[in-house]
Amino acid sequence: MDIARSPSTPDGNPQMADAPPLPAEPPVIRREDYKPFPWRVPTTRLDFALGVEATRVTATLAVEPNPDAEPSSEIRLSGDGLEPASVTVDGHGSNSWRMEGSDLVIPLEQGAHELTIVTQIDPSANSQLMGLYASGGMLCTQCEAEGFRRIAFFPDRPDVLSTYTVRMEGPKRQFPVLLSNGNRTAAGEGGDGNHWAEWHDPWPKPSYLFALVAGDLVARTDTFTTMSGRTVELAIWVRGEDLPRTEHAMESLKKSMKWDEETFGREYDLDVFNIVAVGDFNMGAMENKGLNVFNTKYVLADPETATDGDYDGIEGVIAHEYFHNWSGNRVTCRDWFQLSLKEGFTVLRDQLFSQDMQGEAVNRIEDVRLLRSVQYPEDSGPLAHPIRPDSFREISNFYTATIYNKGAEVIRMMRTMAGPERFRQGTDLYFERHDGEAATCEDFVRAIEDGAGLDLTQFRRWYSQAGTPKVEVELEHDGETATLTLRQTVPPTPGQPDKQPMPIPLKYALFDRATGAHRGEELIVLDGTETQIAFGGFADKPVLSINRGFSAPVSIERDTPVEDLVFLAANDDDSFARYEAMQELIVGHLVAAVGEGFSGDDREAGRAAIGRAMTAILADAGLDDQMRGELMMLPSQTYVAEQLLVADPGRIHAEREALKGWLGQRLEDDLVAMHARASKASDGMDAAARGARKVKTQALVYLAAGNPDLAAQMAAAQYDAATTMTDRQGALMVLAGLPGIERTNKLIEFYNRYRGNALVIDKWFSLQASSLHPEAIAHVKALADHPDFTLKNPNRVRSLYMAFAGNPHAFHDPSGEGYRMIADLILALDPLNAQTAARFVPPLGRWRRIEPGRAALMRAQLERIAATPGLSRDTFEQVTRSLG
């Protein structure tokens, strides 16, 4: 499953849920308490009589004792909001069952049995978007993590694997397309205008991978021939008006299938592969076996309505869900504590795929930027947890950047230490050993250890310890010897005050400052608290390039001279290290500027050094524009705040904007010239055109801070001349942060041009909520009352409020109004969609790292939420952990 990658996704209109309030203290579930389920379920048959307001589900389960578990005289089947209409055991009606809370408990003698349980559900009332729900007249499902129990009583846990046969029947006019997992085995006409279809999935799977879709859809179809010569029928199902925007998704799917065969040796294993685009979805997409369900944002694209980033996102998410067919479906998780087993590994696989499709340099920088903006704050806050957690109250809260992105970095470190070929031997062994099983993180590590010939005994600490390691770096020079000293610490996190050192693979190179060359890249694994290496033959002190390619997810702490950073920003041949030097140069300046004792002379000297590095970047003819655009980007305000023990968001914002304005004024002629040059090359979808579009927007960002009137003119002209959404959105982003008539005119024109297109209107909401305009709070309040805004769809909610929560200057307004708005949203949203509501808690949970005045206001809002009766498990856990 892919967590939503951006705040903008389409809207819809499900109805309110009527789930009862949950207890004030939800139980804690602990990894150490895991026990195998006492019963196996070899086969499951599901019969659906479909209706938007009433669907009848008949579940027939073949059960038998599990020889690997303690025997039990009863079977406990999970439910959520269900009532059994009838219960049959071995063909006979049973009155001996009982309800314990939401679970159905049926007494059973030892031996094999057949259970038949009938339930009725109302998909139209399911605003939680978990289980079977209605979306714009169609029916669809989302079962990960625990949604299947909202459809039928079942042992809804990932270690209970079953083969599924599904029969659906419903009105043909309303549901002309009937889809489920696996291959379609039969179809026909029923009475009273109904029709039916039967699907069978021959591969055992857990209930979280079950899927059903019924609706009025059309398909883009194609085929793929596997490496063994089988033909697979491909289909991407959408509403009729969206069909023209599915070509990129289909091409991305075929590229993914071919790449997984060539890179990991994984061949697809069914006769069909279906993708369905849904307007209402809590996540980005879901990897249900043979029937992936996607948020429309990650399927639909054309140059008029989708940015270059949208195209990349579609390709990456399509790949991610397809790769899950092996890393998640054929080998699944034993329990939810092992979630990173499938998600971390699959994120790494989709990252490697994107690097091969689009180029390694820029993609690696984008991966690291996401990690630092989301996961690093998670690691240093009250919600910190290891990539294999020890406990939770609500599993939905652990679909986090730590599980996904840090999990991917941990597996990438294994690949770095083993090398690609030996790592592939380890993954082959993993799939061979555990195909058809529910595995653990330990199973994966052991397979890499055995297959790649590594000793990962100490490396396992990465799975059990939270927090971002800090590596202190010193380079000393004496005579002709340079001595590199590395020291690591892992900071305390909630529940883990003391940490042990972890193996940290660091790629490095030593540059001769006179020639600009180095002797070659080397790898060192720092596996203790401290290590030292001496290098001979350096008459002058070399320049150190460290953590090249971001070989380890750590924070590097070093006192590097400004001139060395300028040198690396201009000369490093490792693209990430060059980017990192530029980021380090700017972050160091901003951190010093918001501290005490920073003089005006210090500020001017710091800006001048950054200006020299930026001038070199703008003038470097050897750089492609995609990389130039990355090097031009200032570190985010959030990342700068992460470098401080306690941050003042107002001071950081002021210093960052002042630096941007200084650069915009100092480099105005160069920026204007670059914008003009790029404007002649920004049409088309090739890499050069994409790079031209990127630097055009970056030029406008700096000019808007240095010369707002000029920037407004140039942005308006770019908007009017735009032939792609990338150029149009980039111009509107800049205009949205500026006062004046052009801002108003272009926002109105944009809305009128795209009204009715949910994906683009989401962009319109987000651009205003994330803008630098001084009245951003008032704008968000007004947008919340806009006719196109609804709380009933998580995608539209994210497009406005997640964009606002990620806008530091507005969210951290000293009045506390931003905090109150997010708290109000959480309380209004929690009864409708608890998963989405809970994801708005972490921005408030950062209060300990914020200056005292704002911190008190943030904490007060968390306390207000915590005092509200009837909170969901999702929100309750996030709030109580945030308060500590």
pLDDT at 17 over 50: no
Predicted confidence band at 5 (pLDDT cuts at 50, 70, 90)?
A: low
Residue with tokens 């001071």: 651
pLDDT on residue 20 = 39
CA distances from 461 to 50, 221, 467 (A): 49, 46, 11
Task: Spot the catalytic one: 146, 198, 287, 321.
Answer: 321
pLDDT tens digits for 159-168? Answer: 999 999 999 9
Q: How far is CA 558 from CA 142, 474, 542, 548, in A?
A: 47, 6, 15, 15
The pair of three-digit structure tokens given for residue 259, joined into one six-digit string = 């790449």
pLDDT given at position 26: 81
pLDDT band of residue 7 (cuts 50, 70, 90) is very low
pLDDT at 23 over 80: no
User: What mean pLDDT is reported for the chain?
Assistant: 96
Report DSSP state, residue 532. E
pLDDT tier for residue 22 given thresholds of 50, 70 and 90: very low
Q: What is the mean pLDDT of residues 719-744?
A: 97
pLDDT at 21: 43
Cα 559 to its chain centre, rounded Å, is 33
For 364-403, the pLDDT digits (tens) are 999 999 999 999 999 999 999 999 999 999 999 999 999 9
Report the percent of the chain where pLDDT is more than 70.
98
- Rounded to whole angstroms, how far apart are CA atoms 35 and 324? 25
pLDDT band at 12 (very low <50, low <70, confident <90, very high): very low
Confidence class for position 14, pLDDT limits 50, 70, 90: very low
Smallest CA-to-CA distance from 347 within 5, 808, 777, 674 is with 5
CA distance 840 to 881: 14
The 10s digit of each residue's pLDDT in 299-331 is 999 999 999 999 999 999 999 999 999 999 999
* Domains of the chain, CATH where assigned: 29-323 (2.60.40.1730), 331-464 (1.10.390.10), 470-552 (2.60.40.1840), 558-654 (no CATH)
C-alpha closest to that of 269 among 319, 204, 342: 204
Q: Round to whole Å and give the CA distance between 580 and 564.
A: 12
Q: Which amino acid is at 753?
A: R
70 catalytic per annotation: no
pLDDT tens for residues 396-451? 999 999 999 999 999 999 999 999 999 999 999 999 999 999 999 999 999 999 99
Structural contact between residues 213 and 237, judged by C-beta atoms closer than 8 angstroms: yes
Residue type, 818: G
The pLDDT-based confidence of 24 (bands split at 50, 70, 90) is low
What is the predicted pLDDT for the residue at 307?
Answer: 98
| Phi and psi at residue 38, to the nearest 5° | -70, -10
Least confident piece of the model among 257-266, 595-604, 670-679: 595-604
What is the pLDDT averaged over residues 770-783? 98
Which pLDDT tens digit goes with each residue over 791-800? 999 999 999 9
User: What is the predicted pLDDT for the residue at 8?
Assistant: 36
pLDDT per residue as tens digits for the range 679-701: 999 999 999 999 999 999 999 99
| Per-residue pLDDT at 94 | 85
Hey, is 409 helix, strand or coil?
Answer: helix
Give me the residues paired with residue 397 across strands. none
pLDDT at 405: 98
